[in-house]
Structure 1
Amino acid sequence: MEFTSPAAEQRYGELVARVDEVVVGLDFDGVLSPIVEDPDRAHIHADAPQVLVDLSGIVRAVAVVTGRPARQALALGGLDEVGDTIGEHGKELFIFGQYGNERWSSTNRRVVSPRPPHGLASFCRELPSLMRRGDAAEAFVEEKGLAVAVHTRRLEDAAAAYERLLPPMAELARANGLVVEPGRNVIEVRAPGQHKGHAVQTLAEEQAAGGFLYAGDDLGDVEAFEAVAALRDQGLATLLVCAASDEQSALVPLADVVVPGPDGVLELLRRLIADAGKARRG
């Protein structure tokens, strides 16, 4: 765990002092789950369920904010069972799926989701020929219902395939009224106007947060970081955590704390739990 500045270390202390007012937002892939070649096998870190339960006992709310469909996060994380345990402590677990387009909570146990965006079906019909022209026909296509993602990680030269696909996919997305979300060897296409920053704002307002900790690892978390920084300007205690990797470093200059992937995130959360306990005991 590495603080990026003395000010960042001070922010951590302020967060500990107000921990019972804090909302914690966590990305799924790269934060709670390691990045793997097959996104259908991105199971949550073995230690994460217990850490989430322990964390819920000291903060106002815990939320998973992910680009994945909410049902996928529930299944891969066993988060419905985690939510049951958190509920026994009188707290609530939230999932904001597909960048906040979907919502689930451990008290309202159904996924609330809009209809697929106009233009997505047309995009998907043209996608196979685009991938063939980009010499990436074997890339893995993940259909999410409200979005589609093309993963190049399995290809022999994942980075080169990514660079070939990104411009034509962005052009085709624009032609169909959609937007592109680049990531770690993945290009996602979805409806415009919704991002993780909106999920942060919604959580802060609905939970009357006095503080906010957010942990992310990729470009899709930039808006969430910006939203938390705006909360800081409003006087909330905040902490921005980057789960760093060799593949993506965009969040590093924005972060208060840089940690090595899911192991580092869980270590930080354990430290927060321990430090909050010490502060309570005086």
Structure 2
Amino acid sequence: MVSSLPHPATPAGRDGLDALLARPSEAVVALDFDGTLAEIVPDPERARAHPGAVPALAALAPHLAAVVIVTGRPAGVAVRHGGLAGVPGLDHLTVLGHYGAERWDAATGTVTAAAPHPGVAAVRAELPGFLDRHGAWPGVWIEEKGRAVAVHTRRARDPQGAFEALKDPLGGLAAAHGLVLEPGRLVLELRPPGMDKGVALAEFVREKGAGSVLYAGDDLGDLPAFAAVEKLRGDGLPGLLVCSGSTEVPELAERADLAVDGPAGVVAFLGELARAVREG
């Protein structure tokens, strides 16, 4: 253990960090994007990776089995907003977008994807009238995500009240079109079933034959990834769970081995981790 690194609060987390430091070339480091590498902002189109994120990842990645970003965003959007393409040191970075339905590999610079779910187009057409009927328009807005649609309440007069008022009706709308509702930090996302960050992460870890895994996230959508790491640990694979600190999502913080102070804290941790694995 390197003393300058934050100290995980749990024995399982300490084992996960120790395994990563002992055998970094067998480790997968997986990270969410929004709220973890980039600050949460009122307009998601303006979200950008923390200035230190790419340098920290580029310093760390060459020592690992893999670095992967697992996000609900389209893979190409995360690459663009993160400034992740063409970065020396990130030659083998992978971005799993839309909860794993899309994949971008730095080695090829291309996105591969499954066919879109027809329910997304149906919901997209129905949402404006649906929100109007529920009196939800003031400050509430729709984000087009290609393979999903999200309703944001952060700009509403009462953001949490609007979120709670829309959660059940939007859940019903999603179900009517064969979709699922994914609640987040003042956002309600309607997306296809059968894929989540946990499924995407577990498949990627198996693909890489990892000897350990670290996952960092900040929101409810990261809970399946946390559960996947917990299951992998139960199967004997060391793992570390990092919460990009937020008082909005105590469910995540309570399950984390280590909490850091938002994207700045994640970047600082990645920088310390890169230094530790370089120094052996």
Is this a same-fold pair by TM over 0.5?
Answer: yes
1:53: how far off?
A: 0.3
Q: How many aligned residue pairs are there?
A: 274
How far off its partner does 1:244 sit? Answer: 1.5
Equivalence for 1:117: 117
Answer whether contact 1:130 1:168 (CA < 8 A) is retained.
Answer: no
Superposed, which structure 2 residues align to 1:21-100 within 5 Å? 21-82=26-87, 84-87=88-91, 92-100=92-100
Hey, what's the Cα distance between the residues in 2 that align with 1:228 and 1:64? 15
Give the equivalent residue in structure 2 for 1:192.
193
Using the TM superposition, name which of 7-16 and 33-42 deviates more: 7-16
- Aligned counterpart, 2:219: 218
Per mean C-alpha deviation after superposition, the further-off stretch among 33-42 and 258-267 is 258-267
State the Cα deviation string for residues 218-268 of structure 1 (Å, max 9, x = none). Answer: 111111111111221222221110112122121112111111110111121
Shift of 1:85: 4.0
Q: Are 2:264 and 1:255 equivalent residues in the alignment?
A: no
**For each residue in 1:124-167, what CA deviation from the matched residue of structure 2 results, as whole angstroms up to 9, or x when unmatched?**
22211221233321412111111000111112211111111111
Aligned-residue offset at 1:271: 1.9
Partner residue in 2 for 1:129: 129
Q: Aligned-pair distance for 1:121?
A: 2.0
Indicate the residue corresponding to 1:201 in structure 2: 202
Contact 1:135–1:161 (CA<8 Å) still a contact in 2?
Answer: no
Q: 2: distance between equivalents of 1:3 and 1:211? A: 15
Once the two structures are superposed, what CA deviation does each residue of 1:15-72 show, in whole Å capped at 9, x if it has no partner? 2112221011100000000000000000010011100100112211101100000111
Aligned partner of residue 111 in structure 1, secondary structure = strand
What amino acid is the match of 2:250?
S
Gaps of 5+ in 1: none
Q: CA deviation at 1:275?
A: 2.3
Query: Residue 165 of structure 1: SS of its match in structure 2?
Result: helix
Structure 2 distance, partners of 1:10, 1:208, is 18
Distance 2:122 2:27 in 1: 42
- TM-score, normalization: structure 2? 0.93
RMSD value over aligned CA atoms?
A: 1.5
Offset of 1:7 from its aligned partner?
Answer: 4.5
- Separation in 2, partners of 1:7, 1:191: 33
Q: Give the secondary structure class of the aligned counterpart of 2:38.
A: coil
- Assess if the C-alpha contact under 8 Å between 2:19 and 2:238 holds in 1: yes
Contact 1:2 1:259 in 2 (8 A): no
SS of 1:119 mapped into structure 2: helix
In 2, the alpha carbon distance for the partners of 1:179 and 1:10 equals: 35
Q: Unaligned regions of 5+ residues in structure 2, if any? A: 1-5
CA deviations 1:63-121 (Å, max 9, x no partner) are 11000001110110111133x5422xxxx100000000000101122111222212222
Structure 2 letter corresponding to 1:170: G
Maintained 8 Å contact 2:25/2:65: yes
Question: TM-score, structure 1 length as denominator?
Answer: 0.93
